[in-house]
Each structure stands twice: as structure tokens, then as C-alpha cells.
Amino acid sequence: MTLGAGLRDTLDFAWLMGSSPLASFAIAGTSAVMALRMRRPLMASLSVMILPLAALVLPALAVYTALYPGCQAREADFGDCRLWGAVMGTSFDRAAMAPWIIYGAVPYCFSLALMIGAVGMLFFRPRAEPSPPPFAWPRFDRAAKTFHDSNG
């Protein structure tokens, strides 16, 4: 197995997870629920907004940085790009469709982030620590009750 085949399979898996709304929002929703259980509403809101978009942006960025002259990512073409000894196939061509998927997913990510952030701030706000009393009396119960000299 060549190194390019590993990259191709990794990109295929990334496109499968990123372009499937059910999978990407399920992962983001699970991380948001875990953040809400830890009483971190901002982390929950940001995870719903960023994770589905990052699942599309990062593989597209990897493809666009690996392109070379004579190899282009096109929407309506089966690619003939070879990278590290392997034919990339549709792995590179799916990067050309990623911006259209991102344009469709951004409004949903933003609205879900606002809703989860509002619910989190209302119901899952971090608990305040109890404040110390304004005047603390000195504790004399820790003082020695007897003075015993062990040296005699």
C-alpha cells in the first residue's frame, strides 16, 4: 500500500463524514451535550458551529494544498491526479464541491449554535461558588491545649 492510497482513503472517509449532515451534526450534537453536562455552554455552542464546518474545510484545504500543475479539482470530472504513487480518483474532485456544501451548512450551524448557546446560558450556567463570610473569626480550636515538654 502506497502512501498516496492512505491519503486517498483518509480523504474518502473525511468526505463521507463531512458531506453527510446526519453524521457531522450527530458528532457535533454529542460534543455539545457533553459540554453542557460539564456546564460549558460556550463550548457547546462553538462545537455545534465549528465542528461540521471544520469537517468540510480541513479536507478541502488539504486537497488544495496538494494540487500541482496539471492536476485540478473539478466538480464534473473524474480526476486523473496522481499523488505519492496513487490515483486520487474522486477524492480531489469532491474538494471542488465542498464550498457549496459549506454555503448550505453555515446557516444551520449558526442557528443551532445560537439556540444551544441560549439554552445553555439559561439552564446550564456554571454554578457560582459560595462566598466566604465577610469577617472570619480566628480559629482557636487548632491551638495546642497542653504544653508538654518532651525533653523533660
Q: Measured between alpha carbons, how far is 135 from 7 in angstroms, rounded to an integer?
A: 65
The answer on pLDDT for 49 being more than 70 is: yes
The percent of residues in the chain predicted with pLDDT above 70, rounded, is 84
CA nearest neighbour of 89 among 114, 113, 71, 112: 71
pLDDT tens per residue across span 6-28? 777 787 788 788 878 888 888 88
* 106, pLDDT greater than 60: yes
The angle formed by the CA atoms of residues 49, 50 and 52, to the nearest 5 degrees, is 90
Q: How far apart are CA 89 and CA 83, in angstroms?
A: 10
Q: Which region holds residue 84: left if phi is over 0, alpha if psi is between -120 and 50, else beta?
A: left
The pLDDT of residue 97 is: 82
Average pLDDT over residues 84-105: 79
Per-residue model confidence (pLDDT) at position 130 = 74
Domain ranges for the chain: 3-123
With a cut of 70, say whether residue 150 has pLDDT above it.
no
Angstrom distance (rounded) from CA 127 to CA 139: 29
- The set of residues, in sequence order, having a beta carbon less than 8 Å from that of 64 and lying 6+ positions away, is 73, 95
Average pLDDT over residues 63-88: 74
